[in-house]
């Protein structure tokens, strides 16, 4: 098979169109990790009725939106801050904390490293081990968290491994970090897809530990990346006040604020999205189990990490095989800690998942 040197992210449809000559409208992106059910039906039905909201400035405090998030997360209103995507909040937080040394649980999303580098800090990495199925070894991690580490960054569930740290173990980590004066940033972007979200989310810990902040957004689970809406939860009043002080006003437009209020209250959509993910996860795992030259790792998100075991077949080869059928997976060889035998894909409609598993079977069975 022909090799492709460039790595394509799930949103790089225009690039893929140019390189492979496939119209982007004919490509199904299994790499974007976005809920395939699309936006909330309640949002679709009601947002247009609020069009006049754009004639006024948003409430500086975004009180109604934060109230909706408070009800949705069961977190105190006073601990919630909203931003123009979680990216804005990551940047704000790192600007204030100004960590000289950060420890990042890897392999993971690269934006953390970029923000820390921009602030003049350096990054160290604690790699999840393939021999442990990419599950955390608590003792090994705690040994790496010393007084030199100003900030620990954890994505939970983690991207791209789709593994989790249960709240009980997360509390051990946060407690240890109190002793080393290390702040903990937990990114829960994919938490709603987790089969047992209530046992995984660290939001209840924020009431007891001021050395942690949780970030979430609506791009993935609520399938609305274009709205650019994220939020943080933190009980550290000094940090919250400082973030509020330097944060630009009105970074969320009026319609995005209203959209958030509607989405967080669409309980039928939330329940259906979780049930759909559970069903399609089980289907894909069952299909992979029947293939000879592949291994997958426990999935707690809406995506799954797969290792190619067929000699001579690389992640780039599998990517090309699939993209020629209009199916775009994620070649994971550019993630630190992974190599050219790893790919990731998210769960799409059942029809598309069947097509992808058929494409896998053609080269992996």
User: Is the same domain home to 256 and 281?
Assistant: no
Does the structure show a pLDDT above 50 at 180? yes
User: Is the same domain home to 109 and 192?
Assistant: yes
In 87-211, the DSSP E strands lie at 101-106, 122-127, 151-155, 183-187
User: Is the same domain home to 184 and 282?
Assistant: no
> What total of structural domains would you count in the chain?
2
Average pLDDT for 176-182: 98
Q: Report percent pLDDT > 90 for the chain.
A: 90
pTM of the model: 0.95
Burial of 81: CB neighbours in 10 Å, binned 0-12, 13-18, 19+ = buried
CB atoms within 10 A of CB 264: 21
- Of 72, 1, 24, give the one whose Cα is nearest residue 218: 72
Distances (CA, A) of 37 to 98, 207, 212, 224, 342: 39, 33, 32, 11, 26
| Pair 269, 40: CB distance under 8 Å | yes
Name the domain boundary from 206, 239, 265: 265
| Pair 118, 95: CB distance under 8 Å | no
User: Is the same domain home to 229 and 297?
Assistant: no
Residue with tokens 């754009």: 54
Average pLDDT for 323-347: 96
| Pair 48, 259: CB distance under 8 Å | no
Question: For residue 319, how far is the Cα from the chain centroid?
Answer: 22
DSSP three-state, residue 139:
helix
pLDDT band at 6 (very low <50, low <70, confident <90, very high): low
Mean pLDDT, the chain, rounded, equals 95
User: Is the same domain home to 211 and 163?
Assistant: yes
Name the domain boundary from 265, 290, 323: 265
Of residues 149 and 3, more confidently modeled: 149
Which of 17-21, 334-338, 340-344 is the least confident region? Answer: 17-21
User: Is the same domain home to 108 and 226?
Assistant: yes
User: Is the same domain home to 165 and 57?
Assistant: yes
| Residue 121 included in any domain | yes
| Residue 83 included in any domain | yes
Average pLDDT for 338-358: 98
pLDDT band at 1 (very low <50, low <70, confident <90, very high): very low
Which of 20-24, 27-31, 47-51 is the least confident region? Answer: 20-24
Does the structure show a pLDDT above 60 at 22? yes
Give 140-152 pLDDT, tens digit per residue.
999 999 999 999 9
pLDDT for res 191: 98
202 DSSP 8-state letter: -
| Residue 2 included in any domain | no
Average pLDDT for 68-90: 97
| Residue 36 included in any domain | no
pLDDT for res 4: 56
Q: Determine the Cα–Cα distance for residues 246 and 91; give it in Å rounded to an integer.
A: 11
Name the domain boundary from 265, 289, 323: 265
pLDDT band at 13 (very low <50, low <70, confident <90, very high): confident
| Pair 332, 343: CB distance under 8 Å | yes
pLDDT for res 110: 80
Which structural domain, as residue segments, surrounds residue 289?
Answer: 13-30+268-364
CATH number, residue 283 = 3.90.1150.10
User: Is the same domain home to 100 and 198?
Assistant: yes
| Pair 124, 102: CB distance under 8 Å | yes
User: Is the same domain home to 22 and 49?
Assistant: no
Q: Helices (H), strands (E): how many in the chain?
A: 13, 13
Give 252-308 pLDDT, tens digit per residue.
999 999 999 999 999 999 999 999 999 999 999 999 999 999 999 999 999 999 999
Phi, psi (deg, nearest 5) at residue 359: -65, -40
User: Is the same domain home to 57 and 137?
Assistant: yes
In 54-132, the DSSP E strands lie at 80-83, 101-106, 122-127
pLDDT for res 3: 53
| Residue 133 included in any domain | yes
Phi, psi (deg, nearest 5) at residue 209: -125, 110
User: Is the same domain home to 329 and 261?
Assistant: no
What is the Cα Rg of the chain in Å?
21
Q: What are 207's two structure tokens?
A: 């009431």
| Residue 119 included in any domain | yes
Q: What are 217's two structure tokens?
A: 């957004």
Does the structure show a pLDDT above 70 at 10? no
User: Is the same domain home to 167 and 187?
Assistant: yes
DSSP three-state, residue 187:
strand
| Residue 53 included in any domain | yes
Q: Determine the Cα–Cα distance for residues 26 and 42; give it in Å rounded to an integer.
A: 28
The residues that bridge with 96 in the sheet, in sequence order, are none
- Of 28, 95, 85, 73, give the one whose Cα is nearest residue 324: 28
| Residue 35 included in any domain | no
Does the structure show a pLDDT above 80 at 95? yes
């Amino acid at each position: 098979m022909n090799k492709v040197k460039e790595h394509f992210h799930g949103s790089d449809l225009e690039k893929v169109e140019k390189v492979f000559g496939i119209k982007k409208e004919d490509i199904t992106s299994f790499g974007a990790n976005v809920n395939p059910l699309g936006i909330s039906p309640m949002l679709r039905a009601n947002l247009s009725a609020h069009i006049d909201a754009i004639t006024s400035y948003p409430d500086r405090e975004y009180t109604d939106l934060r109230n909706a998030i408070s009800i949705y997360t069961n977190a105190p209103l006073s601990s919630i801050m909203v931003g123009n995507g979680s990216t804005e909040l990551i940047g704000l937080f790192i600007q204030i904390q100004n960590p000289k040394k950060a420890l990042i649980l890897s392999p993971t999303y690269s934006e953390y490293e970029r923000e820390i580098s921009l602030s003049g800090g350096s990054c160290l990495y604690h790699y999840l081990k393939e021999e442990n199925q990419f599950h955390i070894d608590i003792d090994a991690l705690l040994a790496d968290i010393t007084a030199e580490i100003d900030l620990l960054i954890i994505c939970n569930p983690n991207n791209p491994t789709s593994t989790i740290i249960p709240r009980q173990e997360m509390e051990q980590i946060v407690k240890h970090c109190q002793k080393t004066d290390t702040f903990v940033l937990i990114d829960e972007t994919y938490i709603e897809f987790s089969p047992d979200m209530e046992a995984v989310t660290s939001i209840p810990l924020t009431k007891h530990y001021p050395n942690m902040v949780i970030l979430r957004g609506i791009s993935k689970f609520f399938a609305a990346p274009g709205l650019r809406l994220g939020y943080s939860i933190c009980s550290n009043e000094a940090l919250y006040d400082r973030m509020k002080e330097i944060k630009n006003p009105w970074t969320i437009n009026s319609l995005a604020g209203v959209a958030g209020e509607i989405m967080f209250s669409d309980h039928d959509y939330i329940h259906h999205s979780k049930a759909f993910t559970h069903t399609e996860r089980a289907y894909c795992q069952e299909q992979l189990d029947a293939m000879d030259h592949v291994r997958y790792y426990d999935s707690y998100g809406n995506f799954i990490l797969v290792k190619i075991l067929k000699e001579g077949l690389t992640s780039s080869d599998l990517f090309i095989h699939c993209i020629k059928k209009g199916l775009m997976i994620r070649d994971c060889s550019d993630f630190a800690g992974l190599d050219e035998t790893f790919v990731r894909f998210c769960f799409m409609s059942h029809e598309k998942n069947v097509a992808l598993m058929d494409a896998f079977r053609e080269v992996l069975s």
